[in-house]
Chains A and B, each alone.
Chain A
Amino acid sequence: MSTTERDLRDAARLEHQTDEGAQEMQPRRREVVMTGGIWPDDDETMIINMGPQHPSTHGVLRIMMELDGETVVRAKPVIGYLHTGMEKTGEQLTYVQGGTNVTRMDYLACLSNELVFALAVENLLDVEIPERAVWMRMMLVELQRMASHLLYQAANGMDIGALSMMIYGWREREQVLRLLEMITGLRMNHNFIRVGGLAADLPDGWQAATLEVCDAVEAGVAEYETLLCDNPIWQERTQGVGVITTEQALAFGATGPILRSTGFPWDLRKAQPYLAYDAVDFEVIYTDNGDAYDRFLIRLFEILESVKIVRQCVARMPEGDYRVQDRKVTPPPRARIDESMEALIHHFKLFTEGFKVPAGETYVAVESPRGEVGCYLVSDGSPKPVRLHVRGASFYNLQSMEVMVPGSMVADAVAVISSIDPVMGEVDR
């Protein structure tokens, strides 16, 4: 059969009659050389959109991928589908209300966002918070890190095809969230870390409940380790996939587990300690290969480090006040409002007007489960910020996809996206 004949036959096969008329596709003209193992050059690549409504893109992330066959040549994240103008909203809320706004940015690590906002405001106010509040904040943020990494284990398992892993991850995460609900009153979006301290003291019986959760999470992590770490299918799917070097990670602004997976042990909790991280004992987990498997391992073992910190917090939780007793920042106790006129006025002024923050600007950064979360805050002396900018860790980490995805298969791209662990609420804000 000559080439022309084959083309004609293909063209006939590709022609289908529908209600809308003939649907034609151009037959592809190319000579296929069956020997030699080299296919003739085909410079045609295809651009496909993955997302924004794709089950494995973690929210509404769209990726434009240029494909050569099944290999990805280029990948460009397209974002903004979850943009709700939270930085603009932040300029219209007082510092008292600001926590409710920032907590919704990275909705899987709400307390990290509340923490960085509170630290930034306290930096401008020059407020020193009591010891107990510092340790409570540290414990809550570490519990949050456990919950976030457990969710990553679940979602990552689901993306790669280990579906039972999804159920296990959610199971342990739910226990952590139940504990957070017991302490803060809410499972997510707590608004518990306030400027000047916290919203409330720890409830009765928190030690026993926290230690119980620590035990459950440790047992769960041991189970995941057995299930996945030496699993040949899991290793095939993740080892050598989405490789990034330290230089690339630094250049693209990647932080957190992505940077640590390249053999660069950078963790703000150790490098630039805030809260009381210099007083607790924990390790920075890092590996050398920079692939999806390493990022999985780092997040798995960081859960255990967080458990270690939480146990130390339970053992060493200082007594004292959970917020500063500065009536400019902290509302008076409920009982005082009934008996003191001044307390009532303070309460009223604080929740209607808010408190004034001296003019100035500051940048504060903390280590969230996803990397460096920063808050750049500009005040003009009024009760509302002039500019509330949050440096979302995922926003920067997502860019490193441009070097991690090309060269891999489409199915591996899913594993890479999952290993970045992006939270679109934080990316789009």
Chain B
Amino acid sequence: MSDATPDAPAPDAPAPDADVPAITDPVAAAVVAKFPGSVAVESHGQSVVYVDRASLRAVTEFLRDQERFTQCSDVTAVDHAADLERVAVPGVAPERFEVVVNLLSHPRNRRIRLVAEVPEADPVVPSITPLFPGANFPEREAFDMFGVEFEGHPDLTRILLPDDWSGHPLRKDDHPARIPVTFKGDPAPR
């Protein structure tokens, strides 16, 4: 990830909202200024910052303490393994998984979304549960469903599935409903 300034969008950027000439959102601009490597974009009128996954907790802490983001609305993950088409964000190297954190600021009445690209080979991101205790359940859910590990989480166990479940069902290559069935009188495999 280079120090991306959105002034120079890739010429073949397909999404029109990806090549915004300047960062209009002051919070996103502050994050980009403080954490080099972050890329701010606007997605359907919502402010989104792509951050380096190693700095996810630091960015969240900065937003909580400096920018008055009071609540963590949501933490989730996305598996992009089987996308037909993916919106390319200039300056961000796409990886298979994305961890998405939605933060809400009550005093400023606005939201911001942090997205961290997580490679398949090493699906680990820092946990934000020490900052927002409410991220406990959703991080466990993301771990359960995608196998993304949250480093520093106090109790990273499966939450919706049984403890002895194998696999992570929301991964695109996991098909939990597909059980090999043998019918009575079925001829042996040829």
Q: Are B159's CB and A80's CB within 8 A? A: yes
Q: Are B100's CB and A252's CB within 8 A? A: no
Q: Are A363's CB and B111's CB within 8 A? A: yes
**Separation of A255 and B106 alpha carbons in the complex (Å):** 12
Chain A residue with minimal CB distance to B44?
A362
Determine whether B5 belongs to the interface, using a CB cutoff of 8 Å to chain A: no
Q: Are A251's CB and B87's CB within 8 A? A: no
**Separation of A398 and B136 alpha carbons in the complex (Å):** 11
Instruction: Write the B150-180 contact mask toward A (1 if CB under 8 angstroms, else 0).
Output: 0000000011111000000110000010000
Determine whether B66 belongs to the interface, using a CB cutoff of 8 Å to chain A: no
Q: Are B44's CB and A124's CB within 8 A? A: yes
Tally of B interface residues using CB under 8 Å: 45
Determine whether A365 belongs to the interface, using a CB cutoff of 8 Å to chain B: yes
Determine whether B27 belongs to the interface, using a CB cutoff of 8 Å to chain A: no
Determine whether A97 belongs to the interface, using a CB cutoff of 8 Å to chain B: no
Q: Are A396's CB and B137's CB within 8 A? A: yes
Q: Are A376's CB and B76's CB within 8 A? A: yes
Q: Pick from A91, A123, A382, A386 the residue with the most CB of B within 10 Å.
A: A386
Q: Are A381's CB and B137's CB within 8 A? A: no
Q: Of A88, A253, A264, which one neighbours B73 at CB under 8 angstroms?
A: A253
Q: Are B145's CB and A87's CB within 8 A? A: yes
Which one, B32-40, B52-60, B118-126, B127-135, is touching chain A? B127-135
The A72-110 residues at the B interface (CB cut-off 8 A) are: 79-80, 83, 85, 87-88, 91
Q: Are B111's CB and A399's CB within 8 A? A: no
**Separation of A145 and B80 alpha carbons in the complex (Å):** 36
Q: Of A126, A254, A374, which one neighbours B74 at CB under 8 angstroms?
A: A374
Q: Which residues from chain B contact A7 at a C-beta distance below 8 Å?
A: none
Instruction: Write the B30-52 contact mask toward A (1 if CB under 8 angstroms, else 0).
Output: 00000000000001101010000
Q: Of A79, A124, A250, A380, which one neighbours B86 at CB under 8 angstroms?
A: A380
**Provided the pairs A252-B133, A363-B111, A387-B78 are in contact, do residues A374 and B87 lie with their beta carbons within 8 angstroms?**
no
Chain B residue with minimal CB distance to A80?
B160
Determine whether A272 belongs to the interface, using a CB cutoff of 8 Å to chain B: yes
**Separation of A121 and B46 alpha carbons in the complex (Å):** 15
Q: Pick from A88, A251, A363, A428 the residue with the most CB of B within 10 Å.
A: A363
Q: Are B87's CB and A376's CB within 8 A? A: no
Q: Which residues from chain B contact A399 at a C-beta distance below 8 Å?
A: 133-134, 136-137
**Separation of A365 and B103 alpha carbons in the complex (Å):** 12
Q: Are A374's CB and B73's CB within 8 A? A: yes
Q: Are B43's CB and A251's CB within 8 A? A: no
The B60-113 residues at the A interface (CB cut-off 8 A) are: 70-74, 76, 78-80, 82-87, 100, 102, 106, 109, 111, 113
Determine whether B15 belongs to the interface, using a CB cutoff of 8 Å to chain A: yes
Q: Which residues from chain A contact B160 at a C-beta distance below 8 Å?
A: 79-80, 83, 428-429
CB distance from A260 to the nearest CB of B (A): 12
Determine whether B138 belongs to the interface, using a CB cutoff of 8 Å to chain A: yes
Q: Which residues from chain A contact B85 at a C-beta distance below 8 Å?
A: 359, 380-381
Q: Of B43, B79, B87, B161, which one neighbours A83 at CB under 8 angstroms?
A: B161
Chain B residue with minimal CB distance to A403?
B133
Q: Are A251's CB and B15's CB within 8 A? A: no
Determine whether A360 belongs to the interface, using a CB cutoff of 8 Å to chain B: yes
**Separation of A365 and B113 alpha carbons in the complex (Å):** 13
Q: Which residues from chain B contact A79 at a C-beta distance below 8 Å?
A: 159-160
CB distance from B46 to the nearest CB of A (A): 6
Determine whether A361 belongs to the interface, using a CB cutoff of 8 Å to chain B: yes
The A379-393 residues at the B interface (CB cut-off 8 A) are: 380-382, 386-387, 389, 391
Interface residues of A (CB under 8 A from B): 79-80, 83, 85, 87-88, 91, 123-124, 126, 250-255, 264, 266, 271-272, 359-363, 365, 372, 374, 376, 378, 380-382, 386-387, 389, 391, 395-396, 398-399, 428-429
